[in-house]
Structure 1
Amino acid sequence: MKKVALYIHIPFCKQKCLYCDFPSLAGKEDCMVDYAAALAKEIYSIKNKKIKTIFIGGGTPTYLSLAGWKIIKKSIDTLNICDDLEFTVEGNPGTFTKEILNFLKEMGVNRLSIGLQAWQDSLLKELGRIHTIEDFKQSFEMARELGFDNINVDLMFGLPSQTINQWTETLDNITKLNPEHLSCYSLIVEEGTEFYKRFEKGTLNLPDEEIDRTMYAKTIEVLRKKGYIQYEISNFSKRNKKCRHNLVYWELDEYIGCGAASHSYSDGFRYRNEENIEKYIEKMNNDNTAIVEKMKNSFKDNMEEFMFMGLRKTKGVNKSEFKKRFDKNMDDVYYDVINKYTSTGFMIESPDNIFLTYEGIEVSNVIMAEFLL
């Protein structure tokens, strides 16, 4: 039986953050139970697959009502899961309760991902976050007390008005709590967000590129000293605590997405679900499916994605895995681009792998674009 990862989308939020372009909505609490029932229907439909990781993301999954969670749990209980299942749920401070956390524990969740973003209340307010630093500390401690021993914390740098000292303070304080995993992303101002409107008006006070680069360098330096291993451009973990679910995406393995706006990659096809919550519920109730787009990935698509997703990992892309998947030597397809970047110090080629240097990571978007055929 084929092993796959499962992503489950919970689109509800207490309040939409000003930088967020994810498919999430505030003010839709009255849809929660109907949505959970439609979602459960989709989860029940998963057959002949063994689930190796589950990631419930959002939105803010911990904002979902307990009644909604109970419906979803029943469907998850029917899945054929691996013994070493990694089961992650995302949540934001201000939405954690003992009741919800105990329920997640009972459900088999063994990894939490907590959105903090910054250690300063002034920056959290500027981001449109619903919580304070104190809320985060209480949520983190509550999770530890209830036995969660694998916790990721999401952080962001390059924020409006953020200084290098504030970012260093964030890293210093979060590492004192010793989470097993940290995801550290540079802010990207996405179209359609409140931040984008301010950016267009010229009222978004972003740090310049040099400060952003310094913050990234500081991230690597501080986290290395604190015992974290960088295994992907933006992700750092303690030993044996990498996020196995995210590695599925970076290694172009198969995954199933359930819920509004979720994506799947299975048997060489990409699928996309209906994004609108009400329409998703309607489609699941009437048609037993919410897929609105299905596309066969071409041989070329797979090769390109395998390369530019794989180059996000610090160990890079494995040559023998490339040969196994595509029946071609990597050099026969990509010799020119590999030679270009190894000769300029942006990439290293070992007997087994090709991977980006620190300088290469800084311009990774440019380099990865050259792996498009």
Structure 2
Amino acid sequence: MPHAVYIHIPFCHHICPYCDFNKYVLAGQPVWEYLEALKQEMAVTFERWPAREIRTIYVGGGTPTALNAEQMNFFLEAVARYVQPQASNVEFTVEANPGTVDEELLRVMKTGGVNRLSFGVQTFDAKLLKKLGRIHTSEDVHQSLVLAKQLGFNNLSVDLMFGLPGQSVKMFMADVEQALALNIPHISAYSLKIEEGTPFYRMYKHNKLHLPSEDEEAEMYELLIKRLTEAGYVHYEISNFAWHGYESRHNLTYWRNEEYYGFGAGAHGYVQGVRHVNAGPVRQYIDMVTTETLPRVEVHPVTKQEAMEEMMIMGLRTREGVARQTFLERFGIKLEQQFGTQLKELQDKGLITTDGERYWLTEKGLFLGNEVFASFI
């Protein structure tokens, strides 16, 4: 059974124009009904597929810290009842937006077992924050992190974005320096993806979104890696950097293609070889939990071939790569027997390398990851 749990809180105070996650403006939403439905989904799921040991819990969104203190307390009590009894040495992460946390909310989370916070900073530049539709300021970031540290949270992360409209290499590196000055153990940095169906996509299609060139974006990524590794961070996944021992254990579950429970509107799960997708609209999710007990709109048994492909695509995102022995133990077939042609071609192109025990991306491969991943599909 899975050792990881993902829980989705789909509410936001404001919808950002680049975001394609399952989210809804908080005002007017049936929040309490949703939390009751979450509680019921967890109860039914763990009754049918009992957990042996939960090692990581991750609460994403949306904006989980859009919940007020009373709602957060109710939610965390449900987690404590249905998830944490099986937990051992758990990493319990909650995503947070700067400016949406106060002392009361942080105390509730600390008491409820949360021990890792991931703040969606994106950028410290006021003009870029406005373009992204973010409602926080750089000062909110500093205040939120100072308060979190004062209340005993020492496992903290911030997300940055690069390749933003109007962003120069110099501007991005200024963001990196500000993130380093926060003295926190984990930094993620993602390039902006223009997702279909978002306001940014419509702007892009009408030539109203002026993005950095591919060369500028590549330079941002190259300098990011150089600066963070110089500062002592381990570049353990394409977009993620951490002090040793502070890698996101939950996200490593995904990158190692391991199974996980998924709860909430629009959440995905992967249990006993079957992937599922929950209903996305909040009202549909609540109604399905109430009438059908499980809100699943898609169920897909994963074939052995798919699982092998997924292991390569996800595993090569990490700097630890894919181990030959692990592949053999999981699938009963040698890695080279299954993907020998692809591995040789990628090595010949200088995109992956091996020490005889595992394969991983080269420095060149980091910049051409999509080409690498596509070869296994």
TM-score, normalised to structure 2's length? 0.96
Question: Contact (CA 8 Å) 2:254, 2:314: kept in 1 or not?
Answer: yes
CA displacement at 1:27 relative to structure 2? 4.1
**Aligned pair 1:54/2:57, yes or no?**
yes
Which residue is equivalent to 1:36?
35
Say whether the 8 Å CA contact 1:3–1:52 is kept in structure 2: no
Aligned mate of 1:313, from 318, 324, 327: 318
**C-alpha contact (below 8 Å) 1:112/1:152 kept by paired residues:** yes
SS of 1:154's equivalent in the other structure is strand
Which residue of the partner structure matches residue 15 of structure 2?
A: 16
Q: Is the 8 A contact 2:10 2:63 kept in 1?
A: yes
Contact 2:26 2:66 in 1 (8 A): no
1:190 lines up with 2:195 in the alignment: yes
Rounded to whole Å, the distance in 2 between the matches of 1:365 and 1:253 is 21
Q: Secondary structure at the match of 2:30?
A: helix
Cα deviation per residue 1:53-80 (whole Å; 9 max; x = unaligned)? 0000000000112332232222211233
Give the one of 287, 294, 304 matched to 1:289.
294
Q: Deviations over 1:190-234 (max 9, x none)?
A: 011111111011010100000000000011011011110000000
Q: Cα RMSD (Å) of the superposition?
A: 1.1
Equivalence for 1:349: 354
Shift of 1:289: 1.2
Structure 1 stretches of 4+ with a deviation exceeding 4 A read none
Per-residue deviation at 1:147? 0.7
Measured in 1, the distance between the counterparts of 2:335 and 2:369 equals 19
How far 1:293 moved relative to its partner? Answer: 1.4
Q: Which residue of 1 aligns with 2:91?
A: 86
**Residue from 51, 68, 72 that aligns with 2:71:** 68
- Quick check: 1:371 aligned with 2:356? no
d(CA) in 1 for partners of 2:121 and 2:28? 23
SS of the residue corresponding to residue 206 of structure 1 reads coil
CA contact (8 A) 1:36 1:69 kept: no
Instruction: Look up the equivalent residue of 2:224 and give its one-letter code.
Output: T
Structure-2 residue corresponding to 1:228: 233
CA positional deviation for 1:97? 1.0
- Return 5+ residue gaps in structure 1 as ranges: none
**Corresponding letter in the other structure for 2:345:** K
Write the distance in 1 (CA, Å) between the matches of 2:149 and 2:214: 37
- Provide structure 2 residue ranges, at least 5 long, that are not aligned to the other structure: none
Q: Measure how far apart 1:328 and its partner are.
A: 0.8
Give the length in aligned residue pairs. 371
Residue 162 of structure 1 aligns with an amino acid whose one-letter code is Q
Matched residue, 1:358: 363
- Whether contact under 8 Å (1:274, 1:291) holds in the other structure is yes
Whether the 8 Å CA contact 2:172–2:220 is kept in 1: the answer is yes
Cα offset, 1:123, TM superposition: 0.6
2:236–2:320 CA contact under 8 A, matched in 1: yes
Give the corresponding residue for 1:323.
Answer: 328
Scaled by the length of structure 1, the TM-score of the pair is 0.97
